[in-house]
Amino acid sequence: MRQSLLALLAKEPAHGYELKQALEQIFGSAYPSPNIGQIYVTLSRLEKDGLVRVVDVEQSNRPNKKVYYLTAAGREALDVWVDEPTEGPRVRDEFFMKLVLAPMTGIADRMALISRQRRHYLALMRDLNELAERTDQGNRVALLLIEGAMMHLQADLDWLERCQEDLS
């Protein structure tokens, strides 16, 4: 969340609640919506690292509101983050460990493990289908995120099939 807050602040200074609303509006139902506490915790860490600065703005009849600004160091951190290549997805490791180690435990049949995992992936895929249907069709960002998750899941399923062919 650090980077997304920096990016939002690069556009304009904002207070915590505005940042929360902006994240919800951009990502919609497709991304974990942070609670306001998480946002303030992250902001205060960013402040400690010198990446943002906070200013108290007086409001009539209300408590002061804290408005966050991006600092030059924050701007630089954001540019570095955007410019650097992003790690590819990790190979799904925990299931693979189970699969490889199963015969040693003597409890699990590999084919049964694979079948159970396949059903689980398909159930997740069904959830994604439903999520895609519930999502506002105008929210391109959310739909692309969902589609990306679907493609990863498809790759996991294809790989499961390879495991089944080679380990049977």
Q: In whole angstroms, how close is the CB of 61 to other proteins at the nearest point? A: 37
Q: Which residue in the set 64, 101, 126, 140 belongs to the binding site for other proteins (CB under 8 A)?
A: 126
Count of residues near other proteins by CB under 8 A:
38
* Residue 67 host element (H or E): strand 62-70
Q: Which residue in the set 125, 139, 141, 159 belongs to the binding site for other proteins (CB under 8 A)?
A: 125
Binding mask 81-100 for other proteins (x = CB under 8 A): --------x--x--------
Which parts of 136-155 interact with other proteins (CB under 8 A)? 145-150, 152-154
Other CB atoms within 10 A of residue 77 CB: 19
* Residue 41 host element (H or E): helix 36-48
Q: Which residue in the set 14, 67, 128, 141 belongs to the binding site for other proteins (CB under 8 A)?
A: 128
131 lies in the binding site for other proteins (CB under 8 A): yes
Q: 66: which 2 tokens?
A: 């804290």
What DSSP assignment string belongs to 91-112? P-HHHHHHHHHHHHHTS--HHH
Terminal alpha carbon distance of the chain: 43
Q: 57: which 2 tokens?
A: 């703005």
Write out the residues near other proteins by the rule CB under 8 A. 29-32, 89, 92, 111, 115, 118-129, 131, 145-150, 152-154, 156-158, 161-162, 164-165, 168
